[in-house]
Chain A
Amino acid sequence: MNQNLLLAIPMLPLAAALIAGLAGKAIGRGGAAAVAIGAVALSFVLSCLVLKQLLLDQAPNFDGTVYTWLVSDGVRMQVGFLIDRLSALMMAVVTFVSLCVHVYTIGYMSDDPGYQRFFAYIALFTFSMLMLVMANNFMQLFFGWEAVGVVSYLLIGFWYTRPSAIFASLKAFLANRVGDFGFLLGIAGVLYFTGSLDYQTVFSAAPSVATKSLMVFQGHAWSALTLVCICLFVGAMGKSAQVPLHVWLPDSMEGPTPISALIHAATMVTAGIFMVARMSPLFEYSPTALSFVLVIGATTALFMGFLGIVNNDIKRVIAYSTLSQLGYMTVALGVSGYSVAMFHLMTHAFFKALLFLAAGAVIIAMHHEQDMRKMGGLRHRMPLTYWTALIGALALIGTPLFSGFYSKDVLIDAVHASQRYGAGYAYWCVLLGVFVTALYTFRMIFMTFHGPERLDQHAREHFHDVGWDMKAPLVALAIPSVIIGYLTVEPILFGGYFGSAITVLEGHDVVGELKAEWHGPAAFALHSLTAAPAWLAAFGVLSAWWFVLRHPERGDALRERFSGLNRVLVNKYYFDWFNENVLAPLARGLGLLLWRGGDQAVIDGAIVNGSAEAVGRLAGVTRRLQSGFLYSYAFWMIIGLAVSLGWFLIHI
């Protein structure tokens, strides 16, 4: 593989971002769009070329250095690329979704004054994400990791005059920073135990690290690898929004919809999944860490799904769905099913980006209305959006033959086959999750596109279907949402696609166990009709239909009946309440206490000004001695003489 070609893949979007950002006025709106789209399109083509070289031409993996970032104490930190089938797949997915979103942006942002700035940001995001994915070392991984976080921060707060948007952006950055805090500790641990930050060196040292331990508390040795892996995973929990660091993702919907699709569904939030898959040579040696991953993922998958059922904001429903699906991927990682996780990541990127873009089309058509209670019956007004959204929904709930079906059903089978501690709990979570997914997804579809129209006056007057600049990306994403699973499930999961890019130890290989019962994608779809997930999904759709369309009043009755549970769900399990009413005031209170109490009262008040006052007081006393009155001096002289004499007499 040619290094310049690889270098061009991230550099093109970076150049476009700089041009659109710094010379936005000079090149105008059309210019900015053209530059950004052109650059990302070229990146996409080159990424496909790389994928083709790896797959068809059997080119060897590329692992090379671009330049040396710094050398300190013999540790050489470099910027470099590791291109294997794992990174190549991610590159293709990232650039494809990014391209769709770039095109979609032309229409979505057409009347926004920050048009060029928006293109600059999404191109910059594409650059950062590619740097993250292509990295061959932890330093660069962390760079990309934080860089995507910053661009996400800037994009959530894109409409910087909205208080809710700038609040959400700050919240997102801080929640991510909590994750990054763990991630950085993990990286420091990697350097400590292996002496290097380069993937290859670190991975080959993993088996020996597995035997090391670290004294964290006096007398309590922890497995070094478990500590490192859990720290790294904390990073993934921030970026991939796992409980309890998930709080930022629903609020991130304050940003423009194209970035919800690109960043907060298809790419950035999957960085954590990608990272763990990339680190499979480390995680494999720590079943404890993997169990931790498994339980966190399972909890996220099920309990975040519940929240989708009670929400009425179309974007937030999809956001909760994203949380839940990220939980599914995390569960797959936890049972050593890295290839399944990556497979679900890919199919999810397509159908979730599709759902977001469809929701964005609805929002634009409704003139920035996001409340599903004010929609309904839109399938007549915007048929193409309806059909594409329906495809996305069917893929999401795992309808046989659709892309999401293959990734999700294999995932559930893999969890079922796993012996890992926590797999039993996880299995029930992901299984029940299928019902929940179908319920909230079709509740959304029915509320938005079916039933009677509930549009208000404003929306009715301003309603206009979207143009082809927004419809084309929907179609472009709908196609893979249907077929990509059918076409690629066999090579990716059972054909050894990932090869050496992913490490699975003997005895952990649940996907390999499933291979024995695999008889091709068509047979798998047929067989699934007799299995639980398909029935649970069907039951979910039916329930949604029953409560939304057939008997809407029963939904309200149900809410009344379980008002306590409903309150917990509406309040999102009180995570936000806790952060805003306990954690944040606690931090501010601590700051005030240390400032007013520590700095001002103790250090300045008692010690600094206190010693100055003490000097002053002493001076005040000694000053009195020098009164200027002769008789006073004489008096003190006599006293002094008497005392010295007395002392002299006594001691003689």
Chain B
Amino acid sequence: MQQLGLLSVVIWLPIAGGLVTLAFGDQRARAARWAALLSSLLTLAACVSLYAGFANGTANFQFIERLAWIPALRSQYYLGIDGISLPLILLTAFMTVPVIIAGWSEIDKRPAQYYAAFLIMEGLMIGVFCALDSLLFYFFWEAMLIPMFVIIGVWGGPRRVYATLKFFLYTFLGSVLMLVALIYLYLKAGDYSIAAMQQLPLTLAEQRWIFIAFLLAFAVKVPMWPVHTWLPDAHVEAPTGGSVILAAIMLKMGGYGLLRFSLPITPDASHELDWLIVTLSLIAIVYIAFVALVQQDMKKLVAYSSIAHMGFVTLGAFLVFYIMAATGSAQGAVNGLDGAVVQMISHGLISGALFLCIGVMYDRLHTRDISAYGGVINVMPKFGALMVLFALANSGLPGTSGFVGEFLVILASFKASFWFALLAASILVVGAAYNLWLVKRVIFGEVANPQVAKMQDLNPREFLVLGVLALAVLLLGVWPAPMLNMMEASVQHLLQQMLTSKLPGAA
């Protein structure tokens, strides 16, 4: 049994901060805002110290905390991080700060509650990435839905009720089956710890059912085609901050779940059903990219683009067995896994930034309709430059983070099959088409109408937020090595788990 430590701090600090913010109340909005900002910055600082204390080169979980939680169920308050969860925790803490700052003067409806919801959600999301006990994981996983439900339901757009219901039902339906799978595993392993489940031998039939149950939960979150249709609706109705967190962090839960649960707990079923994931991923990349091309609503466009980009995450994660079959060795499989994780982080930064950009425009013109804009750069040059940068990053430009993950996954997919690589690489063309066509219609051209002519360029606060994100996108694109080094040992370990059959009788 270990004492509470830094991981508990990064989980509960933002939640406590959220409660303090709530206590200030909407009447003392100014104090509430500062409290929220301070909490998010302190959490970020704690996460940075987490990074500083993290030892690369080992796949063992670090910063472990293990306390009794529900003794009757043998479930523990068991936390720890490895090279796969740490980048996602850093991303969560990093992205919450711009969300707080971006809402500074834009949110005047119940501001304290707004900030509190985001802070509480931050803590819960970090909890998801830290939990090593699957019941604890499930607790964070489901609890996280509540603040997001509130954010869309209270601060959302006109069709927010439909969107929240759709969002909630979709994700909840998937999660319930995951709970069933976890209970089954608990009954067999006698323990809720994820490590015990990973070591549990399972027959192929068992693995198959468990895999499908997990898949439903995670595929909805990613979201994978065809369970993706909640995402565009949720994004359109969510306030800017909600969209940012949804795209940047929440979608990553699905990818994280596949890496933490599906692949290591059911490696043989993953092997058997990898064709399904690969097919759905390629459909997501190609099909959804074309759908993104014809969107009229900017948020929907970025939402669809998110689905296509997340397709690289699922593709990269499940290439291993194809590579084994094609080349006889797993050489190159780690490229795909690395690419999947990097893609998650990069997509978090870029899609978050794009939603913030759309929010900036929405605050001024109160529409997300592409045709309402045109020639924005004439009146907002700073904003235009940043928006073009993020659009290019979103189309995978080398030198930005958007390139790294896609590059690695495409390299790996060539080893699996020439055709996978061909289909995946089509994002180069279609991705550039929808991103730059958007830029052409919204940013460039003559000032389209008198409303656009009245738009003000970024204020210093907005500039700070987007500027910091731009730096992060460039830094990760120019020098991704530190992140890859952080992940290396854990990803290698994951590969070993995937390649070790759990069937009874398999040595």
Contact = CB atoms under 8 A, between A and B. Distances in A.
B34 interface: no
A189 B334 contact: no
For the complex of A and B, list the 3 residue pairs with the smallest distance between their C-beta atoms, beginning with the closest: A188-B414, A73-B334, A591-B294
Given A160-B444, A181-B426, 16 more contacts: A70-B483, A71-B484, A71-B488, A72-B339, A146-B397, A146-B399, A157-B444, A161-B378, A167-B440, A174-B433, A181-B429, A195-B331, A591-B294, A594-B291, A598-B291, A599-B291
B291 A73 contact: no
Contacts of B375: 161
B475 to A, nearest CB: 12
A72 B484 contact: yes
Contacts of B421: 185, 188
B291 A591 contact: yes
B177 to A, nearest CB: 16
Contact of A70 (B294, B414, B484): B484
Nearest to B483: A70
B445 A191 contact: no
B436 A185 contact: no
B290 A72 contact: no
A603 B226 contact: yes
A34 B257 CA distance: 55
Interface of A: 67-75, 139, 142-143, 146-147, 150, 153-154, 157, 160-161, 163, 166-167, 169-170, 173-174, 177-178, 180-181, 184-185, 187-189, 191-192, 195, 214, 216, 227, 587-588, 590-592, 594-595, 598-599, 603-604, 607-608
Contacts of A607: 226
Contacts of B55: none
Nearest to B487: A72
B331 to A, nearest CB: 7
B479 A69 contact: yes
A170 B437 contact: yes
Interface stretch (B9-17, B102-110, B403-411): B403-411
Nearest to A72: B338
B415 A192 contact: yes
Nearest to A147: B399
Nearest to A180: B428
Interface in B426-466: 426, 428-430, 432-433, 436-437, 440, 443-446
Given A70-B480, A184-B410, A166 B445 contact: yes
Nearest to A191: B411
A143 B398 contact: yes
Given A161-B445, A588-B294, A73 B338 contact: yes
A180 to B, nearest CB: 6
Interface in B385-430: 388, 392, 397-399, 403-404, 407-408, 410-411, 413-415, 418-419, 421-422, 425-426, 428-430
B411 A188 contact: yes
A139 to B, nearest CB: 8
B398 A146 contact: yes
Contacts of B428: 177, 180-181, 184
B425 A184 contact: yes
Contact of B446 (A74, A161, A169, A192): A161
A354 to B, nearest CB: 32
Contact of B414 (A147, A189, A195): A189
Contacts of A146: 397-399, 403
Contacts of A185: 410, 414, 418, 421-422, 425
A143 B399 contact: yes
Contacts of B209: none
A82 B423 CA distance: 32
A193 B412 CA distance: 12
B291 A595 contact: yes
B334 A72 contact: yes
A69 B399 contact: no
B398 A70 contact: no
A595 B478 CA distance: 35
B335 A591 contact: no
B425 A181 contact: yes
Contacts of A73: 331-335, 338
B293 A587 contact: yes
Contacts of B407: 139, 184
Nearest to A149: B397
A143 to B, nearest CB: 4
B486 to A, nearest CB: 11
B414 A595 contact: no
A72 B335 contact: yes
B433 A69 contact: no
B60 interface: no
Given A69-B480, A599-B229, A608-B166, A150 B436 contact: no
B481 interface: yes
B199 interface: no
A74 B444 CA distance: 43
6 contacts: A70-B484, A73-B335, A73-B338, A173-B436, A177-B429, A591-B290
Contacts of A166: 440, 444-445
A142 B404 CA distance: 12
B432 A177 contact: yes
Contacts of A68: 481
Contacts of B484: 70-72
A573 to B, nearest CB: 22
B446 A150 contact: no
Nearest to B338: A72
A590 B290 CA distance: 7
Nearest to A605: B229
B166 A70 contact: no
B485 interface: yes
Interface in B277-324: 287, 290-295
Interface string B318-360: 0000000000000111110011000000000000000000000
Contacts of A189: 414
B377 interface: yes
B338 A170 contact: no
Most chain B CB neighbours (cut-off 10 Å) among A161, A184, A590: A184
B419 to A, nearest CB: 8
A306 to B, nearest CB: 29
Nearest to A165: B444
Given A157-B444, A594-B287, A603 B229 contact: yes
Nearest to A197: B411
A168 to B, nearest CB: 11
A69 B290 CA distance: 32
A568 B392 CA distance: 36
A72 B408 contact: yes
Contacts of B488: 71-72
Contacts of A142: 398
Contacts of B399: 143, 146-147
Given A73-B334, A142-B398, A216 B433 contact: no
B297 to A, nearest CB: 12
